[in-house]
Chain A
């Protein structure tokens, strides 16, 4: 820690008041991308407008392709990346859904595109507010998804996304809540360009396909055995992303003094392990849950933030969950007919684990699922309290509850 602290002071952080959208654009500029291609959609438009003005002012030497759809935005970047370009785009909601086919293409094609996704509800009815169903329903496309809690997180993960994508040869999504992150201004540390340059210098070189001396056909007709081999390779590399993130987070800390984790537990007690309730949250709901614990002095409750979906290997979660009486997952998303998507992931992850108790009788970890904040409805400290009360009184593990119904 000492080294990190010294580095931190030496780097003389330059705090700036910035929205989450500006933080994305700033990080993309500092990462010196080669090609940007984008299409407007609320609420991510600030990101691509800011990048357009940076390109226009010559602050960023990137080719900016204004396309006629998000589908084409992703296709353009896939093309540019085959020639070795560092690429970026941003989208949300319907735009992300329209891209779906090409998300598979980038994932299966092993194209290290970086994209910011501002979580917005899907229509109909038209709704521009936050909801994670857009990004979570892209779960099986072969993209790494990094969920952010605040503007600093957004900046840091946008930067980290590039080396992560290049190391694992997979595309990476940086995910932020609409308005609560994209449009909210926070003071954040913006490093010097030299620091970012030094950080990105450690990143592996981009592998590219177009080589006129050794011409090859890529993404062509592929017979079953070869296709299966490609899928096995993708699965292996995706699994490795967990470790790649941890090692990347270490390199990031060495350069910038901040360390990020796949899982982070927040609690009021010295004992970080033993709690009655373990609340599992993502995005800005994590901040609300932490604030609630502070304000209500809930010594019996810990908040665990999840960072990444695919791969989903939340380090440490099983240990904390096994010691908790109640594991409670709050989802701002819906898989209709099932319930919360993070809850489903957590249940699958924890299925081999039993509760640790003093009695000889052991039972499975008790996992409760709550859906809150659909289409941007407010999730407040009162919401968190209501959920905890419901767990104590009427909550059943097999169900997924809408907070409006409890």
Chain B
């Protein structure tokens, strides 16, 4: 049975919520989920109801990593060393406002799993540009006439520079790959970072039925790499499709409205 119940208030076709479900399937019930301001904090529902069947601590926008580290310290003190502490943070809370606390937790090698579901903009506040938004994308703060001029920030390299024990990128479009990475992360001590690519039908303006397809196209095009970084070594767990990269990229762009300048 899923640890996220029916009745959540996510948008139709939300990939981030499916990501959370897969994550909790693997992590199990003895997991604390730390959620900063982001879509998932809303998806969980309004007090006194909650869709998540594990302890959830909502925290201030920029504090996911350090709140998780504090919880870890508290749980260890009371003898719950076997519990897992994970975050489910958006790209705004990870790439932008939460980067300082994230860097601090990574530098200290705090024993948590930091999971960022990356939907490439501030979706919860109504689609504004983040430093994870790709170049030329239209958002409410980078309108059609002047789309985003800067490239997506390379968060995986930033985390790699912290030399933490485990870094991986994943997407629920490839659930076996995602599960394997989570299982591996679960067994490792110290700071672990997972970047989960989460296409957003509402923000990217695509048909909600295409969430998984969008993620597959991004992987096949080489736009989103599926990798692991351990001891400085980068391993591709799934290579982009040879000879099909341009075709996948074109379809990926065509299916969404954020690159539609007409």
Q: Contact residues of A with B, CB < 8 Å?
A: 34-35, 37, 63, 65-69, 71-72, 75-85, 101-102, 105, 209-212, 215-223, 226
A-B contact count (CB 8 A): 153
Q: Residues of B within 8 Å of A, CB-based: how many?
A: 44
- Shortest Cβ-Cβ A-B pairs, 7 listed: A79-B70, A83-B74, A76-B70, A68-B104, A75-B63, A80-B74, A217-B50
B57–A65 touching, CB < 8 Å: no
In the docked arrangement, what's the CA distance between A79 and B66, Å? 8
Residues of chain A contacted by B78 (CB below 8 angstroms): 83-85
CB within 8 Å for A215 and B108 given contacts A65-B70, A72-B101, A79-B59:
no
Instruction: Write the B67-106 contact mask toward A (1 if CB under 8 angstroms, else 0).
Output: 1111111111110100100000000000000001101100
Tell me the complex Cα distance, A161–B57, Å.
25
Find out whether the CB atom of B46 lies under 8 angstroms from the CB atom of A222.
yes
Contact indicator A102/B60 (Cβ below 8 Å): yes
Residues of B within 8 A of A77 (CB): 70
CA distance A83 to B46 in the complex (A): 22
Kindly report which residue of chain A lies nearest to residue B75, judged by CB atoms: A83
Q: How far is the CB of B44 from chain A (nearest CB, A)?
A: 6
Inter-subunit contact B73/A76 (CB<8 Å): yes
The answer to whether A226 touches B48 (Cβ under 8 A) is: yes
- List, in ascending order, chain B residues with CB within 8 A of A210's CB: 32, 55, 57, 71, 74-75
Q: Which residues of B contact A101 (CB under 8 A)?
A: 60
Judge whether A68 and B103 touch: CB under 8 Å.
Answer: yes
Query: Which residues of B (97-123) have their CB < 8 Å from a CB of A?
Result: 100-101, 103-104, 107-108
Scan residues 51-66 of chain B and give those whose CB is less than 8 A from a CB of chain A. 52-60, 62-63, 66
Q: Which of A65, A71, A215, A226 contacts B47 (CB 8 A)?
A: A226
Residue B34 at the chain A interface, CB threshold 8 Å: yes
Q: Give Cα A226–Cα B45 distance, bound, in whole angstroms.
A: 14
**Known A71-B62, A220-B46, A221-B42; contact A80-B56, beta-carbon cutoff 8 A:** no
Query: Judging by beta carbons under 8 Å apart, are B60 and A85 in contact?
Result: no
Q: Is B104 a contact of A67 with CB atoms below 8 Å?
A: yes
Given contacts A83-B74, A83-B75, A217-B44, contact A72 B59 (CB under 8 A): no
Closest B residue to A67 by beta carbon equals B104
Report if A83-B80 is in contact (Cβ < 8 Å); known contacts: A221-B47, A223-B46.
yes
Known: A101-B60, A218-B56. A85 touches B69 (CB 8 A): no
